[in-house]
Amino acid sequence: MNKNQYQKKMAIYVLLASGATFLASNSFAKTETPKTHPATTIDRVSAATKHKLLKEKIPSIEGEAAEIEAETQKAIVALGGNDTKGATTILQGVSTKLDNLLAKNPGLNLVPAKVETDVYDFNGTNKQVAYAIDAAEDMLKHGKLQNARKILVGMASEIRVTTTNIPLGSYPAAIKQIIPLIDSGKIDQAVVDLSSVLGTLVVTTEVMPLPVLRAEELLTVAADLEHRDDLSKEANRNEIQKFTDAAKDKLELAQLLGYGEKDDYKTLYKEIDAIHKTLFSEQSAAVWQKVMDDLGQFKDRLKDLEDAAERIGHPAK
């Protein structure tokens, strides 16, 4: 076995051993005060971002919406136990809640009923990813699909926000049509129709790559360092270099994991390198702002990456 083969093999072992770290859904993590050290900054991003996302998303869920899916399922269970009276009472309550939502949200098609936030945090290095991709491609060429799958399955580093939405254009009318079926004794048909109604719930997933979020945080800290007055300009310059290098490293990881297009990364790398030419000058603020604006726009384009997540071997929910 030559040195290159050995390195690839060891990288695969590391990847399979480390996999992806999964944090349970809907738990708030305490965040720390940022410190001027790249590793500390990186560690806190996933928890802080998840906390922020939940704070943004959960207030948009109205009480009635959060109960509708569960109560529709309860009605199916009641019908399965021949409790037609109980099922009718439940569905009448669901219908009232839907009417309230329609009155509060005229013209709105989708109302969020449930939000789940999951974090898949990849532990490998950029070099390990490159070796693993190379090895997986080699296995695929030789028809070893399952071997390649074992390598690629953990290669995702992202926050996934999954929202279950109630379609107000169809759900209320469908529920109202089921109650008469129960009254007329058509229980089997009512169960089938209720199951179909649940199937109309619209599930959307936003994918936000952690390496990109971490790069953004690192650049934010780097920009603030330029204005510190407790260090010399040379010391500040060195500190800023550490953070911008760390940010580029995280962007390279995101690129290797297949998030976004190559041209987007080329532009960002070039803009980050340009920062150092204007430090402590009148042009500096504009250069920093340009980098952060472009990175923000890139993040927006990455939000709908469900198909990209599947391409890099991430299991769809």
Residue 152 falls inside a structural domain: no
Residues 129 and 253 in one domain: yes
| Per-residue confidence (pLDDT) for residue 14, from 0 to 100 | 45
Q: What is the CATH number of the domain that holds 184?
A: 1.20.120
Residue 244 falls inside a structural domain: yes
| Per-residue confidence (pLDDT) for residue 232, from 0 to 100 | 82
Residue 291 falls inside a structural domain: yes
Separation between Cα atoms, residue 113 and residue 93, nearest integer Å: 16
Please report where in the chains the tokens 């005060």 appear, as a residue.
Answer: 33
Residue 154 falls inside a structural domain: no
Residue 212 falls inside a structural domain: yes
Q: How many domains does the chain have?
A: 2
Residues 137 and 283 in one domain: yes
Residues 18 and 135 in one domain: yes
Residues 265 and 133 in one domain: yes
Residues 214 and 227 in one domain: yes
Residues 104 and 235 in one domain: no
Low-confidence ranges of the chain (pLDDT < 50): 3, 6, 10-35, 307-317
Tens-place pLDDT, residues 10-30:
444 444 444 444 333 333 233
| Per-residue confidence (pLDDT) for residue 88, from 0 to 100 | 96
| Per-residue confidence (pLDDT) for residue 105, from 0 to 100 | 84
Residue 162 falls inside a structural domain: no
Separation between Cα atoms, residue 98 and residue 65, nearest integer Å: 8
Q: Counting Cβ atoms within 10 Å, is residue 31 exposed (0-12), middle (13-18) or buried (19+)?
A: middle
| Per-residue confidence (pLDDT) for residue 144, from 0 to 100 | 94
Q: Domain span at residue 50?
A: 3-58+120-147+207-311
| Per-residue confidence (pLDDT) for residue 118, from 0 to 100 | 85
Amino acid in position 282: E
Residues 8 and 34 in one domain: yes
Residue 47: how many other CB atoms lie within 10 Å: 17
Residue 156 falls inside a structural domain: no
Separation between Cα atoms, residue 31 and residue 48, nearest integer Å: 6
Residues 246 and 295 in one domain: yes
| Per-residue confidence (pLDDT) for residue 303, from 0 to 100 | 76
Residue 159 falls inside a structural domain: no
Question: Of 46, 53, 11, which is closest to residue 31 (Cα–Cα)?
Answer: 46
Residues 250 and 290 in one domain: yes
Check if the beta carbon of residue 313 is closer than 8 Å to that of residue 153.
Answer: yes
Question: Of 34, 41, 76, which is closest to residue 192 (Cα–Cα)?
Answer: 76
Residues 9 and 138 in one domain: yes
Q: Both tokens of residue 75?
A: 């009605």
| Per-residue confidence (pLDDT) for residue 316, from 0 to 100 | 37
| Per-residue confidence (pLDDT) for residue 18, from 0 to 100 | 46
Tens-place pLDDT, residues 83-112:
999 999 999 999 999 999 999 888 889 999
Among candidate residues 158, 183, 200, the one where a domain is terminated = 200
Residues 79 and 222 in one domain: no
